[in-house]
């Protein structure tokens, strides 16, 4: 059984016409593990950094105690009190389970990225930044001065 099955989570690619496609994590029905879905807000590199930090903690090595302070966790109530992660003061998940769940999430994104040639830096917010960047380039292309001469 995978960790996402154990915690009743599903991973899928969500497409909204005109806005794009991004990886999504949600619950499989109502369940007590719904707060784990905030992990989908992590940048791909942040998820990998969390995995590396958890590996260090599991092996008894020194790790950055502020590893949870990233853009993806800003405003979220996630704490690490070895050996557990605590979400919103009540949901507790062991660090080895968290590592496996994050690895499944990273693998899910990697697998789809390889199939569809999607960028690795995926999360909801990065998707909108890409959209803004593309709109800006389109605007510049449409309104750029013409290089042809008018006679």
| The pLDDT value given to residue 20 | 84
Q: Do the domain assignments include residue 149?
A: no
Determine contact, residues 11/23, Cβ cutoff 8 Å.
Answer: yes
Q: Do the domain assignments include residue 150?
A: no
Q: Do the domain assignments include residue 148?
A: no
Q: Which domain holds residue 78?
A: 3-143
Return contacts of 91-94, CB within 8 angstroms, 24+ apart: 91/32, 91/33, 91/35, 91/36, 93/7, 93/33, 93/36
| The pLDDT value given to residue 99 | 94
Determine contact, residues 55/95, Cβ cutoff 8 Å.
Answer: no
Q: pLDDT tens, 4-52? A: 999 999 999 988 888 888 889 998 877 788 888 888 888 888 889 889 9
Q: Do the domain assignments include residue 72?
A: yes
Q: Do the domain assignments include residue 95?
A: yes
| The pLDDT value given to residue 16 | 85
What is the Cα–Cα distance from 41 to 124, expressed in whole angstroms?
6
Q: Do the domain assignments include residue 81?
A: yes
Q: pLDDT tens, 50-102? A: 899 999 988 988 888 777 776 666 666 778 888 888 888 888 899 999 999 99
Q: Do the domain assignments include residue 87?
A: yes
| The pLDDT value given to residue 129 | 39
Q: Do the domain assignments include residue 62?
A: yes
Number of domains in the chain: 1
| The pLDDT value given to residue 75 | 63
Cα–Cα nearest to 68, from 101, 41, 91, 108: 41
Interhelix angle 95-116/44-58, nearest 10 degrees: 150
């Amino acid at each position: 059984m995978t960790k996402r099955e154990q915690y009743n989570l599903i991973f899928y690619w969500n497409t909204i016409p005109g806005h794009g496609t991004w990886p999504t994590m949600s619950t499989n029905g109502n369940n007590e593990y719904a707060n784990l879905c905030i992990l989908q807000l992590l940048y791909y590199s942040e998820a990998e950094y969390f995995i590396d930090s958890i590996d260090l903690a599991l092996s008894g090595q020194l790790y950055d105690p502020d590893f949870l302070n990233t853009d993806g966790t800003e405003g979220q109530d996630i704490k690490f009190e070895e050996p557990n992660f605590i979400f919103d003061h009540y949901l507790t998940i062991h660090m080895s389970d968290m590592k496996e769940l994050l690895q499944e999430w990273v693998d899910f994104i990697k697998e789809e990225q390889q199939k569809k040639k999607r960028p690795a830096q995926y999360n909801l917010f990065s998707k909108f930044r890409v959209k803004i960047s593309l709109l800006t380039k389109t605007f510049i292309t449409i309104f750029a001065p013409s290089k042809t001469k008018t006679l």
